[in-house]
Structure 1
Amino acid sequence: MVSSLLVLLQFQTPFIITLTLFIIFHQIQTSDASPQTLLILPLKVQTHPHGSVSIPIPSSRKLSFQHNVTLTVSLTVGSPPQSVTMVLDTGSELSWLHCKKLPNLNSVFNPQLSSSYNPTPCTSPVCKTRTRDFPIPVSCDPKNLCHATVSYADATSIEGNLATETFFVAGSPQPGTTFGCMDSGFTSNADEDSKTTGLMGMNRGSLSFVAQMGLPKFSYCISGSDSSGVLLFGDAKFAWLGPLRYTPMVKESTPLPYFDRVAYTVRLQGIRVGKKLLQLEKSIFVPDHTGSGQTMVDSGTQFTFLLGPVYKALREEFVAQTKGVLTLLDDPNFVFQGAMDLCYRVGSNRKSLPLPPLPAVTLVFEGAEMSVSGERLLYKVGDVAAAKGSEDTVYCFTFGNSELVGIEAYVIGHHHQQNVWMEFDLVNSRVGFADTRCELASQRLGMGS
């Protein structure tokens, strides 16, 4: 039985946030009669200049845009334990660590110092496991060890040997955990790589960290700017949270070229702007015979991306309903992060004021809805040169066109999950969510001031 773990998160955009966790033990009263011991892991916040990080995304997903928030988990690995820092990524399967000192790279795991490190031979069944993370098939190296290459959308890659090792999560040993001991290549940003040791894959694949730990579920709650949040591993219920709305995960047994079978896939059935439902054919939300058009809930992606025809309909309706309320940025060449082409100019006289009332955008899933409103609809890009010398601030619509980043899918990003309690129930194969104030959730769990 794996203990439930709570992780305190803190976000501050317009900076890249690196979050490092330390262990404190608490007893939390859940909805059960007896208190349940949970592990609260407060996180240390480090800020980096905006735009300096590009999260590695498997090339099969074809996402190459940058993210301004990364979550890193600090734990120990090996015998004796070595400290490592891993990027938490629900969109990836294979966890990996840098195992060789590279130029400008100081954060590494040294397998030669660990008595519990075991490289995986080519004859191992794990070496024959097919995953979306390996567009290049695994192979045997000259030592007959299982060699893997993970490629990313920006044409970078990282490679090394599969191995098993003991990972200590909140002090609890997880022996025999499969991971990649990578000794060559880079992810996307050498400067940021120097601050982290690797990546922790958290999707539904058999090699993911959550699958290997045998966790029944995990949850998180992301606050808005300059606020804290929580990440919880394990099964815990809180009376103050109230009922969650659930939507089933989609399972696809047939291998399809553009369908990620281990992603957190749900059924998107429609979109409303204000009270108006977009007039779209229901078939446009259903994956086609190639798997193109699945809907993935991904905390590793910042914004939400929609297939071209759906994005166009949403864009037109949002512009129509905000006419006279927002001023369009008159610069057809300005596209934020390569996919956000609906941007607005906000006058300097409003910089200290909240945005005007905006129509909510509601994502309609099977059995549940997620409403995006207020500040989550627009993202402050800054005083961009597109403002042509004025002191205006540019805000962009937080929905993008997936075709502009070369992805054949709908992706629900973490920006639209702010102040939503998100639960990934792996046993019952469903995603649950409930609107809440995440800073208050942190306080209720003894982590807020």
Structure 2
Amino acid sequence: MEITMPAPFTFTTFLFFLLVTALLLNVSQSRAQHRKPSSLVLGLSHSRTTLPTPKVSTVSTKRPSELLDMMEPLREVRDGYLISLNLGTPPQVIRAYMDTGNDLTWVPCGNLTFDCMDCDQYYRSNKLMDTFSPSYSASSSRESCASSFCVEIHSSDNSYDPCTMAGCTLTTLLKATCSRPCPSFAYTYGAGGLVIGTLTRDTLRVHGSSPNVTRELQMFSFGCVGSTYREPIGIAGFGRGALSLPSQLGFVQKGFSHCFLAFKFANNPNISSPLVIGDLAISSKDHLQFTPMLKSPMYPNYYYIGVEAITVGNISATAVPLSLREFDSHGNGGMLIDSGTTYTHLPEPFYSQLLSVLQAVITYPRATDVETRTGFDLCYKVPCAGNITSADDLLLPSITFHFLNNVSLVLPKGSHFYAMGAPSNSTVVKCLLFQRMDDGDYGPAGVLGSFQQQNVEVVYDLEKERIGFQSMDCALAAASQGLHKN
């Protein structure tokens, strides 16, 4: 971040300013790491009414007996996986998307005053809306300009500008003693979403897998959002920044893992996807295939990997562009892993070349009417025996991603082509759930979406800066973690 200073500043004052900022960040990290459990075992939930249409882009050193496992229900709505946040005193349960492509955790605020514009379609099809009421919480307060999180959330050239406009003096800014409330923020999202809110702190409670075990983070900082555009549900940020959920829980130097359930489990209240944070997520995982985590100069808090090739069956889908495995001089490029994006996005002309290979291999009739209606690019009428079964998937070629360090991930069946409806006349229409990257040369060159991560254990080893993959039946994994309800 480039920091601009008014003319009267001397170089000595500038150094002092940097020192104070560094000390604030250190105090914040130490506060976040105070008395935290070594591991959290959580459940992600998945619930949808219809298949979402394409959107325009965007090693533990402790013995097992010393690891503390925690559990929360997580469920999916529309096109993502939800985590339940217990906020406030008394606790209010708010469900938010687990999003590895964001740092900030925010929730809708105000039972009557929360306003979501252009959300009518969502309101008609879903009743899972949760809102948080600060006035009903005895422990809720506004974050002040003295907080390092306030500096973090404002991303202008000089992050102190908003607090200066709020009336903070130079002396209080440098000493981090300004008690004025942190000014409102605005966040924009690649799909056209916008949220406006205030930075709030309150108690976050995480319930243990054993009865009557609860851990509290009393100074959890999050966005209390009063108005949004096309963003009806909150977000739990899982990036590497200071504001992210793993960071404030004290796990930013460890890691986490998730195993997303297949879409067929959507709306099933008796099972949730395993999400593990801390020691258990990365211990005993050396048997996985790990690819290096690339450091983006543009977005250093998010998770990038490099793609070397994509194969359809045994056929290579032409040469993969360099932009999918390295960054340019401005920080553009790389493959972003984003649980907040539904479908995998690939750049042109590589995306069209992949479609050409698939068309050459698949001989079933095209369902062009479904393509027009849904916006997906390849839909086929696939023979079936009257029911949608896994056997139908065997009629379509496999798709394999080859990442840096000789890591190969064969997409599980049902994670590339998906049935658009019930069988008819012994056929079922299945569409390729990939999309083209429409952002040109700016930002990531590609995105690995959550749909293609179904039935895959993904391990984010932040200590060793690597990401591991392993195909897995996530329903069985959920049962082994105690995330099934009787």
Partner in structure 1 of residue 97 of structure 2: 87
Within the alignment, does 1:102 sit opposite 2:146 as a pair? no
Bigger fraction of residues in helix: 2
**Structure 1 or 2: more strand by fraction:** 1
CA deviation after TM superposition for structure 1 residue 276, in Å: 2.3
- Specify the SS of the correspondent of 1:38: coil
Which residue number in structure 2 is paired with residue 311 of structure 1?
Answer: 351
Question: For the Cα contact (< 8 Å) 2:401–2:410, is it kept in 1?
Answer: yes
Please state how far the C-alpha of 1:369 moved relative to its aligned partner: 1.6
Unaligned runs of 5+ residues in structure 2 are 1-35, 53-60, 117-128, 168-179, 208-213, 266-270
Which residues of 2 match residues 40-59 of structure 1 at below 5 A? 40-42=71-73
1:306 and 1:411 in contact (8 A); partners too: yes
Code of the aligned partner of 2:134: P
For the residues of structure 2 that align with 1:293 and 1:214, how far apart are their CA atoms? 29
* Alpha-carbon distance in structure 2 between the residues aligned to 1:9 and 1:407: 28
1:444 matches 2:480 = yes
The structural deviation recorded for 1:36 is: 4.0
- Confirm or deny: 8 A CA contact 1:270 1:282 kept in the other structure: no
Paired position in structure 2 for 1:288: 328
- Which residue identity is paired with 2:37? V
Corresponding residue SS for 1:162: strand
Q: In structure 1, what is the Cα distance between the partners aligned to 2:443 and 2:282?
A: 37
| 1:188 matches 2:230 | yes
Superposition deviation, residue 343 in structure 1: 1.6
Other structure's SS at 1:2 match: coil
**1:292/1:264 CA distance change after superposition, 3 Å:** same
- In structure 2, relative to structure 1, the CA distance for the partners of 1:166 and 1:370 (3 Å cut) is same
The percentage of aligned residue pairs carrying the same residue is 27
Q: Which of 285, 290, 306 is matched with 1:246 structurally?
A: 290
Q: Output aligned runs, 1:186-225, within 5 Å.
A: 186-188=228-230, 193=232, 198-215=234-251, 216-225=254-263
For the residues of structure 1 that align with 2:420 and 2:290, how far apart are their CA atoms? Answer: 33
Structure 1, residues 33-66: CA drift from partner, whole Å, max 9, x if none? 64744123345x69xxxxxx7xxxxxxxxxxxxx
Match of 1:276 among 289, 311, 315: 315
Aligned to 1:395: 430
The answer (yes or no) to whether the contact 2:186–2:197 under 8 Å persists in 1 is yes
Q: State the TM-score, normalizing by the size of structure 2.
A: 0.70
Equivalents in 2 of 1:414, 1:423: separation in Å?
Answer: 14
Query: Which residues of 2 match residues 157-172 of structure 1 at below 5 A?
Result: 157-170=194-207, 171-172=214-215
Give the counterpart letter for 2:452 in structure 1. H
- In structure 1, give the amino acid aligned to 2:368: D
Amino acid at match of 1:434: Q
Are the counterparts in 1 of residues 82 and 98 from structure 2 also a CA contact under 8 Å? yes
**Letter of the 1:345 counterpart:** K
Structure 1 alignment gaps of length 5 or more? 18-29, 47-52, 54-67, 254-258
Distance 1:347 1:276 in 2: 23
- Following the alignment from structure 2 to structure 1, what is the Cα–Cα distance between the partners of residues 461 and 199? 28
Partner of 2:3: none
Query: Does the 8 Å CA contact 1:158/1:186 hold for their aligned counterparts?
Result: yes
Query: Counterparts of 2:460 and 2:283 in 1: how far apart (Å)?
Result: 18
2 CA distance for matches of 1:318 and 1:149?
42
Structure 1 window deviating more from structure 2 (395-404 vs 294-303): it is: 395-404
Partner residue of 1:49? none
CA distances 1:67-114 after superposition (whole Å, capped 9, x unpaired): x34333223222343333333222221112233332678843232343
Counterpart CA distance in 1 for 2:483 and 2:370 is 45
Aligned-residue offset at 1:441: 1.7
- Paired residue for 1:329? 367
**Deviation of 1:156 (Å):** 4.4
Do 1:402 and 1:408's aligned partners in 2 also have CA atoms closer than 8 Å?
A: no
1:346: how far off? 3.6
Greater gyration radius: 2
Match runs of 1:114-129 below 5 Å: 114-129=137-152
Say if 1:347 and 1:102 are closer, same or farther in 2 by CA, change over 3 A: farther
* CA shift in 2, pair 1:278/1:423, >3 Å: same
Per-residue CA deviations over 1:135-189 (Å, capped at 9, x if unaligned) read 9978347584322111234544221221322211223111222211223x22426
Q: CA deviation digits over 1:115-134, x for unaligned, max 9? A: 433322335433222677x8
Separation of aligned partners in 2, 1:129 and 1:328: 50
1:177 matched residue in structure 2: 220
**Count of paired positions:** 395
Paired residue secondary structure (2:256): strand
1:208 CA displacement: 0.9
Q: Pairwise CA RMSD of aligned residues?
A: 3.7
Relative to structure 1, the CA distance from residue 391 to residue 152 in structure 2 (aligned partners, 3 Å threshold; closer, same or farther) is farther
Q: Give the counterpart letter for 1:166 in structure 2.
A: T
